[in-house]
Structure 1
Amino acid sequence: MGKPALTKRQMRDGISKTSKRKPAKLSHSKSARLEKEREQQERYERAERKDRGEQGRGKAAGQSSQRNERVTGRHEQSQERPQRGTTNPQRGAEGEARTERRQPKVRATRAKKLAVRQPNQEIQEKVRFFREKRVDSSNIEPARIQKALAASGVGSRREMEQWILQGSVKINGKVAQLGDKVGPSDHVEVRGSHIKLKWPDRLPRILLYYKQEGEIVSRDDPQGRTTIFDRLPQAASSRWVAIGRLDVNTSGLLILTTSGALVNRFAHPSFEVEREYAVRVLGEVSTDQMKELTEGVELEDGFAKVERMFEQGGEGVNKWYNVVLKEGRNREVRRLFEYLGLTVSRLVRVRFGPIGLPARLKRGSFYELNEFEVANIMRWSGLGVPGDKQVRETTK
């Protein structure tokens, strides 16, 4: 019986009558089957290696503990200093602890801006005036070089101090020294590049934020908790600085600004700016206890007193009180009530200096003051506004 004739496809692919090669379809199916068997075999081998690895780690852990016991015994017997190049187990443990403490950052939702109506025509004209007005550069006092560079966004103040010590900063062609001051007319170079310094020739920005419980007033937290700076909008040409702090369990008014002088004017203890808090207490404060707090008590970190205190009502065992202080020590309000044997179940800051918590501002929202409102705050602080005769930074 003769061999079958070649098909057109076999003739096209160049397969002769004597060729023993199987059709492409059969070879493809066979390679696919072999590939599948190879993948299955690799899975089996990976599983076996994993089992052997777990057993090996168990044995290694036992051997390691035995070695540690032997090493510990030798170390107790020997009083010699460790050899050069060996690692310090205490430092290693501290490093591992720091690594374990740092948690992944949780992405926070952005805070909502309070929607307000347009002010009247007179205030709008004043807002436009202050927005366009600039301070005469001759009225701006010189600042320390490291402070001016940090305020201009070149780097942190500590980095600038290091660069100055390294001789990488020049003022008008001369190598700068720590403490040197610069003004708007000076030419500053950092590592051979000219730096255009930013000066407070216009009104700063002021932002009011209703802080919630659970948020911290910090730019970095090893525990990965939400910070207020994760929720607030970014400042374009500067950075927000919080005036004072609120602990993680305290809510209420938090003021942020781009002016370091304004932060100093609000927060420095010498100015004694009032802070008002709404305090919910588990229990009731008697008249004698109120008098005791207003006269002052001795806490673990020194003498503390309440300027004014009055009751705001409440239901059941919880009573509300308003407390006014002139300093902002850590957890001072809570510690004052703990001194009386009372527990603070809620603490809200409702006023800081001349700025009160807006009634329409919801928790987790913010409101930015317009230029007219900022000018009033600057005049209250004594720092002046553009158009005044002189603008000086108040520092103590």
Structure 2
Amino acid sequence: MPTPQLPDEGERLQKVLAGAGVGSRRACEELIADGRVKVDGKVVSRLGTRVDPRTAVIHVDGKRVMLDDKVVHLALNKPRGVLSTMSDEQSKFGRARPTVYDYVAERSERLFHVGRLDVDSEGLLLMMNDGELAHRLTHPSYEVDKTYMAEVPGPVKPAVLRRLLAGVELEDGPVKVHKVRISDTLGQRAVLELVLHEGRKHIVKRLLAEVGHPVSRLVRTRFGPIRLGHQRPGTVRRLTSHEVADLYKVVDL
């Protein structure tokens, strides 16, 4: 495949890649020479190729490289009792409640949250100023996995798990889980791990209530390829370049 014609102005591709944290200048030159780098969808193998980092879309080994350091991607471990909104309308009545904005208020970027968690739910909430990525992560057609741990009354019979996998009819239409398993038992309680593509309001709680196991605690532990891990409640961290690349890949960007 011939190398595409790219502008003579701009910065050398290996310099742009090195500046984005892909590797040393020498390592980036080897990636280019090996045909592992695409610019705007086309393989570039000529060293010295120049690109405009403001507009170029660059992939290395199929993963997009983030070039704009003004684009921010964050992970918040949302505590229970915090609203998934950037402002609380009740504050005008002097009854302001904690919101996710409180955890990023000192940042200069205009951020928004991706999807939401109920006020009494906990766990991973992505926040960013990357509109196209956020749109795709929440659009049903991309079927991005969301993993939850739900504490419910036990025991949970195998027939309930089969019903969840087969699909349950709710008032706003059918829903089924992609995966489900019993993660733990706590006396008369059980912890279910569920993976859904759905993002409808209160979907996990409504689904489990419908099959006779109302949720007493709900934690989102994963959103697509991003894991909550051991991140402490109420803390915010910036996603690594590899995590951002994985997010782009899962929604074909």
Residues 290 and 380 (structure 1), Cα distance of their counterparts in 2 relative to 1, 3 Å cut: closer
Task: Quote the Cα distance in structure 2 between the aligned partners of 1:134 and 1:230.
Answer: 39
Greater fraction of residues in strand: 2
Instruction: Tell me the equivalent position of 1:382.
Output: 252
CA–CA separation in structure 2 for the residues paired with 1:216 and 1:128: 39
The 8 Å contact of residues 151 and 215 in structure 2, kept in 1 or not, is answered as yes
Equivalent position of 1:268 in the other structure: 139
TM-score, normalised on structure 2? 0.71
> Does the alignment pair 1:338 with 2:209?
yes
Candidates 273, 292, 296, aligned match of 2:167: 296
SS across alignment from 1:225:
coil
For residues 70-99 of structure 1, the C-alpha deviation after alignment (integer angstroms, 9 at most, x for no partner) is xxxxxxxxxxxxxxxxxxxxxxxxxxxxxx
- With a CA cutoff of 8 Å and minimum separation of 6, indicate the structure with the bigger relative contact order: 2
Counterparts of 1:268 and 1:351, CA distance in 2: 17
In the alignment, the residues of structure 1 paired with residue 146 and residue 194 of structure 2 have an alpha-carbon distance, to the nearest angstrom, of 8
Q: Tell me the secondary structure at the aligned position of residue 261 of structure 1.
A: helix
- State the partner residue of 2:104: 232
Relative to 1, partners in 2 of residues 1:305 and 1:220: Cα closer, same or farther, differing over 3 Å? same
Tell me, in whole angstroms, the C-alpha distance in 1 between the residues paired with 2:98 and 2:245: 32
Would you say 1:323 and 2:194 are equivalent positions?
yes
- Residues 205-256 of structure 1 deviation map (CA, whole Å, 9 limit, x = unaligned): 11111001100011221141100101224442x3111110001010010111
| C-alpha distance in 1 between matches for 2:223 and 2:55 | 33
Report SS of the residue matched to 2:186.
coil
In the TM superposition, residue 350 of structure 1 has moved relative to its aligned partner by 0.4
Other-structure match for 1:122: none
Q: State the AA in 1 paired with 2:98.
A: T
Structure 2 unaligned blocks of 5 or more? 1-14, 23-49, 58-65
CA distance in 1, matches of 2:163, 2:242: 42
Change in Cα spacing, 1:321 to 1:376, as seen in structure 2 (3 Å) is: closer
Normalising by structure 1, report the TM-score. 0.46
Amino acid in the other structure paired with 1:129 = G
Is 1:251 the counterpart of 2:117 in the alignment? no
Q: Partners of 2:52 and 2:239 in 1: how far apart?
A: 20
The letter for the 1-side match of 2:104 is L
How far 1:131 moved relative to its partner?
6.5
Identify unmatched segments of 5+ residues in structure 1: 1-124, 141-199, 384-396
Q: CA deviation at 1:307?
A: 1.1
Counterpart Cα distance in 2 of 1:305 and 1:228: 29
CA contact (8 A) 2:147 2:194 kept: yes
Identity level (%): 33
Name whichever structure is richer in helix by fraction.
1
One-letter identity of the residue aligned with 1:363? P
Cα distance in structure 2, aligned partners of 1:376 and 1:233: 27
Whichever residue aligns with residue 209 of structure 1, its letter is L
Asked if 2 retains the 8 angstrom alpha-carbon contact of 1:205 and 1:374, the reply is no
Q: Does 1:202 align with 2:73?
A: no
1:277 equivalent to 2:148? Answer yes
Q: Distance in 1 between matches of 2:52 and 2:210?
A: 50
Asked whether the 8 Å contact 2:16–2:53 carries over to 1, the reply is no
- Calculate the aligned-residue CA RMSD, in Å: 2.6
Code of the residue aligned with 1:245 in structure 2: it is R
CA contact (8 A) 1:126 1:372 kept: no
**Higher gyration radius (CA):** 1
Maintained 8 Å contact 2:121/2:217: yes
Give the CA deviation at 1:314. 2.0
